[in-house]
Structure 1
Amino acid sequence: MTRPERYYELEMLLETYTRLIDDDQLEAWVELFAPEARYEIISRENLAQGLRLPLMLCENRDMISDRIMSLRQANIYNIHTDRHMISQLRVEAVEGGYRLGANYALFQTNQEGVTQLFSVGRYDDLVREIEGRLLFVSKRVIVDTAAVLSLLATPI
């Protein structure tokens, strides 16, 4: 069983994760990942069928950082504001860390002020304490559908 204090710290890690995306502080968001961290967005259907084709895959923090740098400097995408809604956090203590799970809904508002539901799914994460900090070692975003309304540019 996870101590209430640790549960709160893990809950705050996930809150910080979504807040930094929503506030477009993506360079700070990268720092929530361990150097060897894996970030993956995959559809529920592909996962259920054992198909390993993700919508996005970064196999370490450097790749995650490169993704953000290309987003800032090279990519052309729909300018928008994100807003995450997260369910109650599920925590399971595992060897060397914690398995986290939560459902999410991600809304996006475009420059014209139109808000729409962009993605719904769940997070399946592995978190470890590294040098006194809780960091994501694996972040899997399982989207309910691979159909994306517009370009998948920013993290979910």
Structure 2
Amino acid sequence: MLDFETWQQVLALYADYACVVDNNEWDKWPEFFVDDCTYRIQPRENFDRGFPLATLAFESKGMLKDRVYGMTETIFHDPYYQRHVVGVPRILRVDGERIDAQANYAVFRTKPDELTTVFNVGRYVDTIRRTPEGLRFESKICVFDSEMIANSIIYPI
């Protein structure tokens, strides 16, 4: 059963997640996940059909930390800022230590000296786990709506 305290914690998890990725606090990003997590950015068509192909797929917090290293130390790209607008999450199921939730999102990208553009739009399909440290994502699937995406996704969605 969903109680008010859990609802507030879920809202805070989504708000804090968006704040960290918008502020480029990359060392904090993996800490939103349990060690044995899944993080995928996947086209809607593949997700809806049950196809496993994803644009990005990571299967542990260690892989997320590797991505942070790659983003900050090895990948060369034009700098940009991103801003998330995340809808109010829908709690689909609460089962002991797990919460299934979904939230719509829109990510806007701004490059220096350019106008802001819509970068990615879709929905988060999440499984959240209660831990001693608070709520953490066990699985975060970013299901994007468009069949067309930017030629490179550097930062987490």
TM-score, scaled relative to structure 1: 0.95
State whether structure 2 residue 120 is matched by structure 1 residue 127: no
Displacement of 1:94 = 2.5
The C-alpha deviation readout for 1:90-143, integer Å capped at 9, x for no partner, is: 112134310111000100000114200000000011111112411111111001
Distance in 1 (CA, whole Å) between partners of 2:95 and 2:133 is: 18
Q: Which residue of 2 aligns with 1:40?
A: 40
Q: What is the aligned partner in structure 1 of residue 78 from structure 2?
A: 78
Check whether the contact 1:126–1:139 (CA below 8 A) recurs between aligned residues.
Answer: yes
Amino acid of the residue matched to residue 53 of structure 1? L
State the 1:47 CA deviation: 1.3
Moved over 3 A (4+): none
Write the distance in 2 (CA, Å) between the matches of 1:29 and 1:146. 27
SS in 2 for 1:15: helix
Deviation at 1:150, TM superposition (A): 3.9
Please tell me the residue identity of whatever aligns with 1:135. R
Q: 1:86 Cα shift?
A: 1.0
| CA shift in 2, pair 1:27/1:146, >3 Å | farther
The aligned counterpart of 1:139 is: 140
5 Å matches for 1:34-113? 34-91=34-91, 92-113=93-114
Question: Alignment partner of 1:117: what SS?
Answer: strand
Percentage of identical aligned residues:
28
Task: For residues 5-44 of structure 1, give each alpha carbon's deviation from its aligned partner in whole angstroms, at most 9, with x where no partner exists.
Answer: 1101111001111110000001111111101011011100
- Point out where structure 2 has 5 or more consecutive residues left out of the alignment: none
TM-score (norm 2): 0.94
Deviation, structure 1 residue 4: 1.2
SS at match of 1:31: helix
The letter of the residue matching 2:105 is Y
Unaligned runs of at least 5 residues, structure 1: none
Q: Structure 1 CA distance, aligned partners of 2:153 and 2:5?
A: 35
TM alignment of 1:11-50, pairs within 5 A: 11-50=11-50
Q: Does structure 1 residue 114 correspond to structure 2 residue 115?
A: yes
Q: Tell whether the 8 Å contact from 1:78 to 1:151 is kept in structure 2 after alignment.
A: no
Deviation at 1:154, TM superposition (A): 0.4
